[in-house]
Amino acid sequence: MGIKTFETREALKNKLHNRKLIFSENELDEVLISHNYFNLFNGLETIFLQTSSPKTYDKVKLIDFINLYQFDKEIRSILSNCLDSVEEKLKASIAYNFCKHHCVSLSDTMQYTNKSNFMNPANNESGTPTYCHYSEAYPFVNYQNQEIYQDFDKFCLFKPFFLSNLVDRNDHIDISFYLDNDYVAPSGVAVYRNSDGTYNRNIAVPFWVAIETLTFGEILRLLHYLQDDVLKDVLNDFNLPLSKRAPFLNMIDILLCLRNNCAHTTLLNRFRTEKRYRINALLIASFSLTPKNADSVLKLFDSIKILSFFTDVSALKKPLRTLKFKIYVSMGIKKGKTVYNKILARMGCGDYKKWNIALFETKYFL
pLDDT in tens, 98-124: 999 999 999 999 999 999 999 999 999
CA dihedral 296, 297, 301, 305 (to 10 degrees): 30
pLDDT at 284: 98
User: Is the pLDDT confidence value at 1 over 60?
Assistant: no
pLDDT digits (tens, 9 = 90+) for 177-206: 999 999 999 999 999 999 999 999 999 999
Position 359, amino acid? L
When pLDDT is averaged across residues 202-231 and rounded to a whole number, the result is 99
pLDDT at 289 over 70: yes
Q: Write phi, then psi, for 199 (nearest 5 degrees).
A: -105, 140
Q: CB neighbours of 60 closer than 8 A, spacing ≥ 6?
A: 20, 21, 22, 48, 331
Q: Is it the case that residue 266 has pLDDT exceeding 90?
A: no
Q: Which pLDDT band holds residue 2 (cuts at 50, 70, 90)?
A: confident
Closest C-alpha among 280, 3, 48 to residue 16: 48
Please tell me the distance from the alpha carbon of residue 85 to that of residue 91, in angstroms, as a whole number: 10
Residue type, 16: L
Q: State yes or no: pLDDT of 249 exceeds 90.
A: yes
pLDDT category at 272 given cuts 50, 70, 90 is very high
Strands (E), the chain: 49-52, 55-57, 192-193, 199-200
DSSP 8-state secondary structure symbol assigned to residue 155: S
pLDDT computed for residue 281 by the predictor: 98
192-193 vs 199-200, strand pairing mode:
antiparallel
Residues 208, 132: Cα–Cα separation, whole Å: 25
Contact between 102 and 109 (Cβ < 8 Å): no
Mode of pairing for the β-strands spanning 199-200 and 49-52: unpaired
Mean pLDDT in residue range 240-260? 99
Pairwise CA distance, residues 97 & 229, whole Å: 9
Alpha-carbon separation of residue 65 from 86, 134, 184, 325, 330 (angstroms): 32, 50, 62, 14, 11
> Contact at 8 Å (CB) between 303 and 289?
no
290-310 pLDDT, tens digit each: 999 999 999 999 999 999 999
Percentages (nearest 5) of helix, strand, coil residues in the chain: 60, 5, 35
Q: What is the pLDDT of residues 321-364, one digit of tens each?
A: 999 999 999 999 999 999 999 999 999 999 999 999 999 999 99
Which residues fall within 8 angstroms of residue 98, CB to CB, at 6 or more apart? 112, 117, 207, 226, 230
